[in-house]
């Protein structure tokens, strides 16, 4: 069945913050060369096969004018949380790429929302990232030069792909992300970060619940009920780690609920003294992409 294709509607015009983000990325990666301004952008979806046959849901935002363009690739695990499809959370940014002479490719990582397979954070992103880059480079609308961009776990998908050094990866801009997951992700100074891991991990439970129920043939109304029940429970427990009910009255400063160093995610006490360790970890060497231009 051919993938649907249609012109982007006016509500997909890039938001100011999207343009700022785009310009920041362009500066950070030194993407040289004259951009071909586009006034019309098309969006279509495809299921892209990985090396093991697993197909990943992928959105393509292309300039309407025929041609071969450099590719800005974003690989995202939050399709259930932020939405997907042409007109979703990321669409404004992807449209901005296309309007500036690139093909914007937005892919949901393995085991999330519409993509096939099982979500195995971090471990799956090397092979899948490599395959996604090389797939994008081989398409008729691509000039063979692919860049990865965005941040957080979307930055993880860049670092992990970069480790494998795909031949057609010419640039990447991982932001607000980590290169050592024991210090800046699952752990803090090597200690398991209970607060972050609990809260981040719970972001994927709704998606996993829906996928499991759908695979079991559960009627949609029952799926909706179970999801609503789960989300209601989480709303009640949202602040458990910042208000542990220790003994005594709340009027007694010594007995008030406290933030514990091993369970906080953003408390400044979690990050004091990390500079030297982070600097040492940052000296680790790995494969380099090299000094290459995307356009």
> Which among 11-15, 16-20, 222-226 has the top mean pLDDT?
222-226
Residue 227: the pLDDT is 95
Residue 29 has pLDDT above 70, yes or no: no
Q: Tell me how far the alpha carbon of residue 4 is from its chain's centroid.
A: 24
| pLDDT tens digits, 160-169 | 999 999 999 9
- Cβ proximity of 46 and 121 under 8 Å: no
Residue 81 tokens, joined: 């949380």
Q: Is the pTM of this model over 0.85?
A: no
The answer, yes or no, to whether residue 22 has pLDDT greater than 80, is no
Residue 291, pLDDT score: 53
Domains of the chain from N-terminus onward: 5-179 (3.40.50.1820), 190-272 (no CATH)
CA distances from residue 51 to 57, 130, 150, 156, 161 in whole angstroms, order as listed: 15, 10, 24, 20, 14
pLDDT in tens, 108-166: 999 999 999 999 999 999 999 999 999 999 999 999 999 999 999 999 999 999 999 99
Read off the pLDDT of residues 272-286 as tens digits, 9 standing for 90 and up.
Answer: 333 333 333 333 344
Query: Residue 190: left (phi > 0), alpha (psi -120 to 50), or beta?
Result: left
Mean pLDDT along residues 194-199: 86
Q: Is the pLDDT of residue 187 over 50?
A: yes
């Amino acid at each position: 069945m051919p993938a649907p294709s249609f012109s982007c509607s006016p509500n997909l015009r890039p938001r100011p913050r999207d343009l700022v983000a785009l310009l920041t990325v362009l500066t950070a990666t030194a993407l040289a060369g004259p951009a071909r301004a586009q006034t019309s952008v098309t969006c279509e979806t495809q299921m892209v096969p990985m090396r093991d046959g697993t197909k990943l849901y992928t959105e393509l935002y292309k300039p309407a004018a025929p041609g071969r363009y450099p590719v800005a690739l974003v690989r995202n695990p939050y399709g259930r949380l932020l939405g997907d499809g042409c007109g979703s959370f990321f669409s404004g940014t992807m449209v901005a790429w296309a309007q500036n002479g690139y093909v914007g490719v937005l892919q949901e990582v393995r085991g999330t929302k519409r993509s096939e397979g099982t979500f195995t954070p971090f471990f799956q992103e090397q092979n899948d990232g490599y395959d996604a880059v090389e797939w994008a480079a081989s398409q008729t609308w691509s000039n063979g030069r692919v860049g990865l961009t965005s941040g957080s776990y979307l930055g993880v998908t860049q670092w992990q792909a970069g480790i494998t050094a795909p031949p057609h990866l010419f640039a990447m801009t991982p932001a607000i992300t980590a290169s050592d997951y024991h210090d800046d992700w699952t752990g803090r100074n090597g200690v398991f970060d209970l607060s972050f891991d609990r809260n981040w991990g719970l972001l994927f439970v709704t998606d996993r619940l829906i996928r499991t129920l759908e695979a079991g043939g559960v009627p949609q109304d029952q799926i909706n009920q179970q999801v609503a029940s789960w989300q209601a429970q989480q709303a009640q427990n949202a602040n458990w780690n910042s208000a542990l009910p220790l003994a005594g009255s709340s009027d007694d400063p010594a007995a008030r609920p406290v933030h514990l160093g091993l369970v906080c995610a953003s408390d400044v006490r979690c990050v004091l003294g990390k500079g030297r360790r982070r600097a040492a970890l940052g000296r680790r060497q790995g494969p380099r992409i090299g000094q290459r231009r995307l356009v």
